[in-house]
Structure 1
């Protein structure tokens, strides 16, 4: 593996074009890969459900009430994560994704750490997430960070729901 330099995690800084474009590309990769893993492969973003295309085309609007964290290497966006606005004392982590060329460097852990810190600062009592059962590496990471399997709030087949106190 080659050295990719230092990576920093920041809240999405406004409408910086390179960051917004990089975030859109990461969201597109996330959704396309997820659909393929579910056996519902689509050729490109145009084949995704409307709600996913909206996230990709205008993340600022799609996540207007949420906090979007991005991992940057210089001005290149290499990872992302969304923390939903607090509701009923909890927030939800969504859209954790790291550019495959940058995996294995602690980026997902850094994004999750920043998300948990944000949740604590905002007075959130717990954070939950859902993950596809076949994403065993992600599940192991969540477990290392204290997430445990909980009763499902999303009954899609092969989806695992996890939660942890903040």
Structure 2
């Protein structure tokens, strides 16, 4: 059974964070990308076989997300969820890489991560937050709708992506 300890949301990469918090992001990103590849029927054996644009996120998230804010959900000192929110561009921020460790699902972690991302975006001058989600991730789509996101015209040419936006 999963420990039901309180979960907190923090910014990742801040000075003074413990080594376990710093190291906690890469495994979450790896799980996210490996699962996504499998869901697209493009499963790979491990991180080293991910497409380069995804592999580099796992290997060097500090560099890849240098201009973004990475939020981590922590249970104690253990990273159990993550989300990336971009700096506003043209009045919009974007949410990406939302992932909760399967052992911790059902505890409202994704809800808290997205809520923290919306607050962060508003504090940094964004008028809206957008995201894209694979159409088969119906649970995520339902969560986003509960949080006020609405389906919008696609800005991404990839098939099977649902684009959504939340006006702040």
TM-score range, shorter chain: over 0.9
- Where does residue 92 of structure 1 map in the other structure? 94
RMSD (CA atoms): 1.1
**TM-score, normalised relative to structure 2:** 0.96
- Where does residue 21 of structure 2 map in the other structure? 19
1:110-149 alignment to 2 at 5 Å? 110-149=112-151
Task: Give the drift of 1:8.
Answer: 0.2
SS in 1 for 2:99: strand
Task: Give the drift of 1:3.
Answer: 3.7
The gaps in structure 2 that reach 5 residues or longer are none
User: Is the Cα contact below 8 Å between 2:11 and 2:72 reproduced in 1?
Assistant: yes
Task: Give the drift of 1:70.
Answer: 0.2
Give the whole-Å Cα distance in 1 for the aligned partners of 2:32 and 2:66.
19
Give the whole-Å Cα distance in 1 for the aligned partners of 2:60 and 2:67.
13
1:1-166 alignment to 2 at 5 Å? 1-14=1-14, 16-166=18-168
**TM-score, normalised relative to structure 1:** 0.97
Task: Give the drift of 1:85.
Answer: 1.3
Runs of 4+ that moved beyond 3 A: none
How many residue pairs match? The answer is 166
